[in-house]
Amino acid sequence: MPIELPDGKRLAVCVSFDLDAWSIMLRMRAVGLLGKGNYGPINFSRGEFGIVTGIPRIAALLDKYNIKATFFTPGVIADTYPDMVRDLSRRGHEIAHHGYFHECPASLDEKAERESFQKGVDSIKRVTGKSPVGYRVPFEIPQANELSEHSVKIMMDLGFKYISQHMGPYDFRVSKVRDGDVYHTDKPPEFGKEVSMLNIPVNELIEDDLAYFLGVSTFYPKLDNPSKVLEIWKMDFDYAYQFEPNGFFALVLHPESTGRAHRIVLLEQTIQYIMQKPDIWFCTMEQLADRWKD
């Protein structure tokens, strides 16, 4: 069994956040992926809300239940709000890499990609005193969230332990990252080699942005019923708990979405539901990766 949980624990639970704030919108505009509409203080404030109001609410909630989370943080967010990011780190949360300006690796050449990774590492290290060891790929339409052919090598050179972005091959299990796959459209794929870095997959179906934000328009959030979202999260958690012992269950959240009042209540209800089980191990993704045994 590749992941060895602490004695007496059945399932790991990781609460993770992407601190995109305004960086995702500005990045997509910079590369021509958003329309030419006005972007000023009003739209900027959508992201600013996540940092100024969402993060304090989230940090207080996590403290209340003594949960250490993982915050995937673009370097520019660490540079803009160093006190906030330092405070999260001092509370015991993991600060992980999420690009410098929310750039997708697949949209960069090798030199720019290496610079982007290094710049993000430098910003986080300057603020927290610790280099990030985990990475989540920033989302850029239409490149979507995709690695380049150089990404894994660059991350290994920088000492990363894990990527949390793949949608498979498992949902509640960690596996080794495979590098060098070649995909064809007229014959079977050629599989690359496993490397000493871990794939902690995400499940887009339980992401807060899918429930609250995506699928309507770029700017106007949709409003889903919290009880419906809670029902989906509970069913996925229950399945993982029952059928995937020694696995993990992860939430992918965003302060600008989950920081809103009724969604914070929903997150607390989810935590309380999970905590009814006596053998759950809440951990950061780095702590999960450190339990890997070859």
Q: Which residues bind Zn ion (CB under 5 A)?
A: 18, 20, 138
Q: Please name the residue ranges forming H helices in 158-225.
A: 208-212
Closer of 73 and 270 to Zn ion (Cβ): 73
Query: What is the smallest separation between the CB atom of 190 and Zn ion, expressed in angstroms?
Result: 30
Closer of 101 and 237 to Zn ion (Cβ): 101
Query: What is the smallest separation between the CB atom of 209 and Zn ion, expressed in angstroms?
Result: 9
263, 226 contact by CB (below 8 A)? yes
Query: What is the smallest separation between the CB atom of 66 and Zn ion, expressed in angstroms?
Result: 26
Closer of 34 and 230 to Zn ion (Cβ): 34
Report d(CA 106, CA 135) in Å as an integer. Answer: 14
Residue 187 burial class via C-beta count within 10 angstroms: exposed 0-12, middle 13-18, buried 19 and up: exposed
Handedness of CA 113, 179, 4, 244 (dihedral sign): positive
Q: Please name the residue ranges forming H helices in 109-225.
A: 110-128, 151-157, 208-212
Report d(CA 288, CA 130) in Å as an integer. Answer: 18
Q: Please name the residue ranges forming H helices in 50-94.
A: 55-64, 75-80, 82-90
Query: What is the smallest separation between the CB atom of 222 and Zn ion, expressed in angstroms?
Result: 18
Closer of 52 and 195 to Zn ion (Cβ): 52
Closer of 214 and 230 to Zn ion (Cβ): 214
List, in sequence order, every beta strand (DSSP E) within the chain: 11-18, 70-73, 94-97, 134-135, 162-163, 175-179, 193-199, 247-253, 280-282
Query: What is the smallest separation between the CB atom of 249 and Zn ion, expressed in angstroms?
Result: 21
Residue 288 is given by DSSP the state H
* Residue whose C-alpha is closest to residue 84's, from 47, 24, 128: 128
Query: What is the smallest separation between the CB atom of 24 and Zn ion, expressed in angstroms?
Result: 5
Query: What is the smallest separation between the CB atom of 179 and Zn ion, expressed in angstroms?
Result: 23
Closer of 80 and 269 to Zn ion (Cβ): 80
Report d(CA 261, CA 245) in Å as an integer. Answer: 33
Closer of 5 and 78 to Zn ion (Cβ): 78
